Structure 1
């Protein structure tokens, strides 16, 4: 592969892995535990990449629950405890992900994950799927002062890879990823199969992929 880029940053949920089934299952276990109604998977699937705290907060608000901000950390910890037990039950890599990442890695480009989930769960899943060696940096919500869409998240990854913004491209699936890339001054590609509420072509990205296996060909011509 001709090297037009020095580094490629990847969102995780909805881009590399379909983790929504296990995330929503964990949420429903917690809701049952605290006496609330289960949520419908199809309705909440697009929230799977929001992070545990935001997902839980919005769910409780949707259900008309009155809660104190001070109560959230304990509930989030309980949600994560459920998730730790389910993380690999139904979570799967999207088709073509291992092969494409290997091809990009072998071309000499540096790879990084930039995700709003925790380091513990991200690194566990990367190891589970045998992808750890491919990533030179894994930048998660608990590694940065501000999460995506703040530029600081991607800037930390760019710094870790010792590259320049103009030689870096972001691959994601939502408006949050597009905004983060714009804020960091880098190009951005979105996949159409992820967790975006809005159609991928309406997110304002520089390019849209319908199939992850198309990424190597795009990187050859995309500037």
Structure 2
């Protein structure tokens, strides 16, 4: 075998046989869940005789899981969260279970884009800080779970976004070694997780980011999920 042939084979293995992975955040990226999260949080705050939060506060509240959301709501009430046994977190989850599909909806074009990527042999995964139980229920409800090869939530591992291991450990679930990854999200947590894994980064401008996503050095910022198809060459 000539040196040229060997170089071609190595190039083929690296580029042509490389699996294409697209990692998606959930809330603020695929799912508009703000109303149901707000309803659940305000129900909890009402039970505690605390002031409710406004929808305008949602960008600051979501993205790091339910516990952080509750802690931030306490801060908005000028109170310090001191619930060491997590019974308030458990109560929030109980409330959320009763209404998490009441008003939540997929953003426009989500089902179309996922189907298109899946048909073109992209490996799709969910990397979200949402409790994994709810992720599975939501994906089943909207009939899009079939497109995903792996799913992880904020309680799947001992770490979560922005820790880059949240992404790498999710990819390990599908036993990939040679792959290229693109992360689609809406927040600084997604940006950090993607960049520290040398993944391409796409940020959705309609999401819940409090920070300016145009400062996060994304490869693409868009308000139309279909734009990722062109970016990925589909």
Closer, same or farther: CA 165–198 of 1 in aligned 2, 3 Å: farther
Task: Specify which of 58, 64, 70 is matched with residue 84 of structure 2.
Answer: 70
Find the aligned partners of 1:11 and 1:68 in 2 and give their Cα distance: 29
Closer, same or farther: CA 116–198 of 1 in aligned 2, 3 Å: same
Find the residue that maps to 1:136 and give its secondary structure: strand
Please show how residues 15-94 of structure 1 align to structure 2 within 5 Å.
15-71=29-85, 73-94=86-107
Find the aligned partners of 2:233 and 2:175 in 1 and give their Cα distance: 21
The alignment of Structure 1 onto Structure 2 pairs a total of residues equal to: 219
Please show how residues 1-223 of structure 1 align to structure 2 within 5 Å.
6-71=20-85, 73-164=86-177, 167-220=180-233
| Contact kept in structure 1, 2:184 and 2:204, CA below 8 Å | yes
| Contact kept in structure 2, 1:4 and 1:220, CA below 8 Å | no
Find the residue that maps to 2:84 and give its secondary structure: helix
| Contact kept in structure 2, 1:15 and 1:191, CA below 8 Å | yes
Closer, same or farther: CA 83–3 of 1 in aligned 2, 3 Å: farther
The normalised TM-score by structure 1 is 0.92
Return the index of the structure with the highest Cα Rg: 2
What is the CA RMSD across the aligned residues, in angstroms? 1.9
Q: How far off its partner does 1:69 sit? A: 4.0
Q: How far off its partner does 1:58 sit? A: 1.1
Between 196-205 and 54-63, the greater mean CA deviation after superposition = 196-205
Closer, same or farther: CA 11–122 of 1 in aligned 2, 3 Å: same
The normalised TM-score by structure 2 is 0.88
In the alignment, structure 1 segments of 5+ residues that lack a partner are: none
Query: What do residues 149-198 of structure 1 show as CA deviations (whole Å, max 9, x unaligned)?
Result: 00110011221233357511111101110001112222211111101112
| Contact kept in structure 1, 2:24 and 2:127, CA below 8 Å | yes
Find the residue that maps to 2:167 and give its secondary structure: helix
